[in-house]
Structure 1
Amino acid sequence: MRHVSLTRFFFPTRGWPLVGLCWLVNWTARAQAPSWQTAVASAAHFCTVKATALGPGGDVYLVGAFAGTARFGPIRLASTATGQGLDAFVAKWSPASQQFVWAKRLGGTASDEALAVAVHGAAVYVTGYFGSLKLRAGPLTLTNADTVASEHRIDKETTDVFVAKLTDAGPTAAFTWAQRAGGLKNDTGQGVAVNGAQVYLTGVCRSAGSQFGSLLLPALREGTPEDARPVTQQFVAKLTDAGPSGRFAWVVPTGGGREAGGAGALAVQGPAVYVVGNPARDEESDGWDDAAPPTEGPYVTKLADAGPSARPVWTQRLTPGSAVSAVAVRGANVYLAGWFWADTLRLGPAVLRNTARGRAEGANPNSFVAKLVDAGDRAAYAWAQPAGGNGSCRVSNLAVAGARLYVTGTVWGAARFGPVALAAAPAAPLRLYVARLSDRGTTGHYDWVSAVGPPRTYVPPREQPRNFHQMTTPSEVNAVAARGARVYIAGGFNGPLQFGPRVLTFANRVNLAAFLASFTDTGR
């Protein structure tokens, strides 16, 4: 039996027609695809969710970016960004009351985005980047390392890392402290995890020297001495949360001294910190470009937090022609997810074969999920599972709930997820999906996959975007969180999405709206 409920949240615009609304639709899943409960959220002419986290009481915390004015139920946030700039947001959703409890803005006059969130008790930690000269988070203000005001425009801005702590008081929340990091180039915070009072960040620094409080991440340079240029580095940093303040304790580069791309994530268990990253393909690479295979493959590294310092314990490097997008940990099991456009991907004894057309050009990757077993000072692959078909199949994120793994991503055309076939939808070839795997020790098994896309009757609009925020991004699912049988996914979409019998729509089809969706998985 399926139970579906619906709640709607309107997001009006500032000088724009109504763009979207926010729905939350519950669904029940057994041994097949889920029965959805969906949510949509939108603001002004752009809104998307970048990450989610679950609080100790089951509340859902969402972070992302918006432009214009957003209304989270009765709560309205007004962006301070000018032109096509973005502001960051963090919001709390209550499954018990089926409504938003509070929402907070972080921003300035340029573009600022929140990309990751972690929760410990009443403490909510958010990280991302800010291109504004001043980032304001409640009563707190962070100043960009580049203090030349004329540099902080949409077309010419330098970004710094930010990490902020909010204290959740139940019906409201307040910013407690905030820290910046970076230098005079573009630096970004991409992941955050927490273990007690220890807060861990990962991201990339493109500056010649990046400051983390009183600590310096030295520049990595390549080339001849006279032509040496700074090399983009991925970093892991630790802050100690002292309650009313947070202080950087250490920062280390990762990736073995090779130039980093823009994609990174981390997970923490006790003093062990697991970080994944991707190499850059060229000087301007963001780490997600599939244009050409890199000479070095992605990596997963384990760091040991020794208090005032950290040391690398082991590194596993994937074969070139692949990208890793997510990492999660449970006990000694470390789970990775990503995609590969090479003909094959070797993960320990497993060799995965790419079935996509156009893979030689890197256009259509297959996805993978793999498990490493951490034996302390080393790790070994236990299993790896591919998914894909003739078109593109990517994984954006994963979550672990016991022996169940939930992965989200995008798929183009038909695909196979182990024994489960996903048929093509010619009217809407690009779809979002959520799939469940079972970890059976020495092997992983896909149990089901559910695609989310426009209704069969949907005809895409011919209207073209009027600016870079309007429909330059296809539908995306960026986040997944799970606890017990409850699973949430979130992201953004640019056309109607159908979750079971429910269709999410918004008025202006050329804009990006955000969604939150959940289901109860009661399957075995």
Structure 2
Amino acid sequence: MPARLLSLLAAPVIRTCLFGAAALLCGTAQAQTPVWQAAAGAGITQSTGALAQVYATVADANGNAYITGTFNGTARFGTTLVSSAGSNDAFVAKWNGTTNAFDWVLPLGGTGSDRGTALALTGNTLYVAGIFTGTAALGGVQLISAGQEDGFVAKIVDAGSSGNVAWARSAGGSGFDGLTGVAVGTTGVFVTGSFNGTAQLGGLSLSSSGSNDVLVAKLTDAGSTASFTWAQRAGGTGPDLAQAIALSGPNVYVGGYYSSASAEFGGIPLPNSSLSTIDGFVTKLTDTGAAGNFAWAQRVSGPADDLVRALAVRGSTVYAVGNYNSATLSAGPFTLGNNGGFDVLVTKLVDAGGSASFAWAYNAGGPGGESSSSVAVAGSHVFLTGGFTSSTVSFGGTILTNTNTLTDVYLARLTDAGASASFTYALSAGAAGDDYGIGLSIGGPRVYVGGSAGSAAQFGAHTLPPSSTGAPTGFIATFTDAAILSTASTDWANALAVYPNPARHRATVQLPALPTSAVLALTDALGRTLWQHTAPPSAAHSTHTVPLGHLAAGVYYLHVQTGAQSVRRTLAVE
């Protein structure tokens, strides 16, 4: 693999979270521009040369946050000490948003080098994806790598005071393989990553076209076990890597970057703008149950290196973030300039089923180097985080000032107005060392950012102490955004999905988590109720089947009401 691509792939891993041991809490958020409300360190290293790094975060609606990453030596998470079995072990830890303390930490790994790279959450069930070498113990499950590095995915049940592994599966072959993204939906667990040569996923086999290819796979969770249902590859003769995965109903979206002269996504070619650089991609697969089929692929491209690092989905809208150092970048009909070095990229695509189009694209940056590593969406509000090295960096009308000559954390919010968007605000954090935002999630009205901070990094009025070994300090920082509070009651409508549509014998309605019950009703063109169902409150998304076999072909209307809010979807019956 070319050294440049290796360095770009390693950047979000090497420059992520090293944790120290403190929790700092404070008052209330402002009405419009939030302030940091809490900043918590975790996983302080206890032995010389030891470290703990975090690569992903996810939050629930109750204010709890989960982190995953890697550590070696002995590390402290609150009052809990964990020691690695090898050079590096993976871990998953739960931060309690009520007590502001860690409820539990679960080490995962063996004598080799292991790391968790991604998390997904539904109810009290976590799914973690990552990379391991040699033999790794994940709870009571032992995995053995088939080659240099393999990917893993595991299910962890949060029991309150502990996290328990229910099952774990590996993916890979004799080369360097890994999983870098995981998402969970009503039809299964989906993972993405890359592989080299031939990779085994249970009874399924994939072969790469050249160096590393993109991997996308679905697992069926049977409770205490799981099996791979389907697997797909994408790419060309060069190194091609996936970084992110997101779901909306049966639609599976994957983002990453490729260096092949032309990368194939299920017969859909994406040419590279240059034979010696990297372009970013976003692609969609449709999960039919037993198979996953590519529907479309889009690229962001220019004469230099351009990357997609993270995705977020709301209905048929896909948000992609990354960074680029091309002098000009093309995203469909939109062309972006460059402020110098790498600039932040944020763009919106609209999925039309068999195709997609760019709705808008924006950049942010200064004369130095900026990156975006994670994105989350709540209603029309899009949040992104990363790091910036410029002395000043502009996010719309907000100018952030770097505290040093290295890297500071930023958190920015855009408001999506449909055909355009605008930056609403931006926050920064940091001190004398290198500081990065790497993980981002939304739980209730709270925004959570995880990352790596240097000595005595400041989050507004709050300062994180360094670790006792002098290593950088990891953090989870949070604030409440009033805009999320105002849209939380209606955002469920944007997350509601009905599929397939058109349908024949039955249709599935996917509802997001709801604090109160919802009434579903199917009516005809005359307004007559043909079917009705009450969905109970749920802490996670739920699915409900609408029987259609007794209906004549035609157009019907599905009504969903929760509290005073209601939404209608048109449903075609064949």
Is the TM-score greater than 0.5? yes
Q: Given the alignment of the two structures, is residue 435 of structure 1 paired with residue 481 of structure 2, yes or no?
A: no
Note if contact 1:204-1:232 (Cα within 8 Å) is conserved in structure 2.
yes
Query: Does residue 1:408 correspond to 2:450, yes or no?
Result: yes
Q: Separation in 2 of the partners of 1:401 and 1:41?
A: 25
Structure 1 residues 326, 21: CA separation in 2 closer, same or farther (over 3 Å shift)? closer
Residue of 342, 346, 349 corresponding to 1:303: 349
Distance change >3 Å, CA 346–CA 22, structure 1 → 2 = closer
**Cα separation, 2, equivalents of 1:322 and 1:259:** 15
In structure 2, distance between residues paired with 1:483 and 1:92: 24
1:144 corresponds, among 204, 208, 212, to: 208
- Look up the equivalent residue of 2:394 and give its one-letter code: R
Whole-Å separation in 2 of the counterparts to 1:297 and 1:136: 37
Structure 1 residue identity aligned to 2:239: N
Q: Give CA-to-partner distance per residue, 1:154-184, whole Å, 9 cap, x none.
A: xxxx100000000111111110000000000
Q: Which residue of 1 aligns with 2:229?
A: 176
Q: Distance in 2 between matches of 1:22 and 1:115?
A: 13
Is residue 10–residue 72 contact of structure 1 (8 Å, CA) maintained in 2? no
Which residue identity does 1:340 align to in structure 2?
Answer: F
Q: Is the 8 A contact 1:233 1:260 kept in 2?
A: yes
**3-state SS in 1 of match to 2:110:** coil
Q: Secondary structure of the equivalent of 1:37?
A: strand
C-alpha spacing 1:9/1:91, structure 2 compared with 1 (3 Å): farther
1:356-402 deviation digits (Å, cap 9, x = unpaired): 1xx2xxxx211100111111111111111100011111011100012
Contact 2:466 2:472 in 1 (8 A): no
Bigger shift: 95-104 or 35-44? Answer: 35-44
Per the alignment, residue 380 of structure 2 pairs with 332
Separation (CA, whole Å) in 1 of partners of 2:514 and 2:321: 23
Question: Which of 136, 150, 153 is the matching residue for 1:70?
Answer: 136
Name the counterpart of 2:536. none
Residues in 2 aligned to 1:430 and 1:220: alpha-carbon distance in whole angstroms: 38
Shift of 1:422: 1.9
Gaps of 5+ in 1: 13-17, 147-157, 222-228, 283-291, 444-481, 487-524
Contact 2:84 2:107 in 1 (8 A): no
Aligned positions of 1:162-311 closer than 5 A = 162-221=215-274, 229-255=275-301, 257=302, 259-262=304-307, 264-280=309-325, 294-295=340-341, 297-311=343-357
Query: Given the alignment of the two structures, is residue 421 of structure 1 paired with residue 451 of structure 2, yes or no?
Result: no
* Number of the residue aligned with 2:396: 348
For residues 282 and 240 of structure 2, the distance between their equivalents in structure 1, rounded to whole angstroms, comes to 13
Shift of 1:42: 1.9
Aligned partners of 1:406, 1:398: CA distance in 2, in Å? 6
Aligned residue in 1 for 2:198: 134
Distance 1:101 1:254 in 2: 39
Letter in 1 for 2:137: R
Q: Kindly provide the CA deviation profile for residues 166-203 of structure 1, in whole angstroms up to 9, marking residues without a partner as x.
A: 01111111100000000000000110000000000101
Give the Cα–Cα distance (whole angstroms) in 1 for the partners of residues 284 and 153 of structure 2.
Answer: 22
- Provide the secondary structure at the position in 2 that maps to 1:336: strand
Residue 107 of structure 2 is aligned to residue 40 of structure 1: yes
Alignment partner of 1:54 out of 104, 121, 126: 121
Secondary structure in 1 aligned to 2:294? strand
- Per-residue CA deviations over 1:107-164 (Å, capped at 9, x if unaligned) read 1001101000011024111001102x10110000001102xxxxxxxxxxx1000000
Residue deviations 1:307-332, cap 9 Å, x none?
11100001111124311111100111
Partner SS state of residue 436, structure 2: strand
Is the contact made by 1:54 and 1:60 (CA closer than 8 Å) also made in structure 2?
Answer: yes
1:220-258 deviations in whole A, cap 9, x for unaligned?
Answer: 23xxxxxxx343110000001000001000001025x45
Picking from 175, 184, 188, the partner of 1:110 is 175
Map Cα deviations across residues 448-478 of structure 1 (whole Å, 9 max, x no partner). xxxxxxxxxxxxxxxxxxxxxxxxxxxxxxx
SS of 1:40's partner is strand
Q: Amino acid of the residue matched to residue 439 of structure 2?
A: N
Q: CA deviation at 1:37?
A: 2.4
* CA 483–9 in structure 1, closer or farther in 2 if over 3 Å, else same: farther
Q: State the 1:425 CA deviation.
A: 4.2
Structure 1 Cα separation of the partners of residues 292 and 428 of structure 2: 41
Structure 1 counterpart of 2:371, which letter? A
User: Is 1:9–1:23's contact at 8 Å kept on the other side of the alignment?
Assistant: no
Give, in angstroms, the shift of residue 348 of structure 1. Answer: 1.2
Kept in 2, the 8 Å contact 1:7–1:23? The answer is: no
Distance 1:27 1:407, change over 3 A: closer
TM-score (normalizing by structure 1): 0.71
Q: Percent identity?
A: 36
* Cα distance, 1:246–1:389 mapped onto 2, change above 3 Å: same
Give the aligned residue type for 2:166: V
In structure 2, what residue type is equivalent to 1:237?
T
Alpha-carbon separation, structure 2, partners of 1:109 and 1:209? 25
Contact 2:445 2:484 in 1 (8 A): no
Q: Distance in 2 between matches of 1:122 and 1:68?
A: 31
CA distance in 2, matches of 1:25, 1:210: 37
Count of residues in Structure 1 that have an aligned counterpart in Structure 2: 400
TM-score (ref. length: structure 2): 0.65
Q: Which residue of 2 aligns with 1:393?
A: 435
Whether 1:124 and 2:166 are equivalent positions in the alignment is: no
For 1:243 and 1:9, how far apart are their aligned partners in 2? 40
Shift of 1:441: 3.7
Judged with a 3 Å threshold, the aligned counterparts in structure 2 of structure 1 residues 425 and 244 are, in CA distance, closer, same or farther, namely: closer
Tell me the alpha carbon deviations over residues 3-61 of structure 1, each in whole angstroms, 9 at most, x when there is no partner.
x999999987xxxxx6677877665444x853452222222211000000012x32100
1:312 to 343, 350, 358: 358
Aligned pair in 2 of structure 1 residues 25, 300: CA closer, same or farther (>3 Å)? closer
CA contact (8 A) 2:187 2:289 kept: no
Residues in 2 aligned to 1:137 and 1:305: alpha-carbon distance in whole angstroms: 29
Contact 2:91 2:106 in 1 (8 A): yes
| Equivalent AA in structure 2 for residue 314 of structure 1 | W
Q: Which residue of 2 aligns with 1:95?
A: 158
Unaligned 5+ runs, structure 2: 1-22, 24-76, 328-337, 486-512, 516-538, 540-574
Over aligned residue pairs, what C-alpha RMSD do you find? 3.0
Measure, in 2, the Cα distance between the counterparts of 1:9 and 1:122: 35
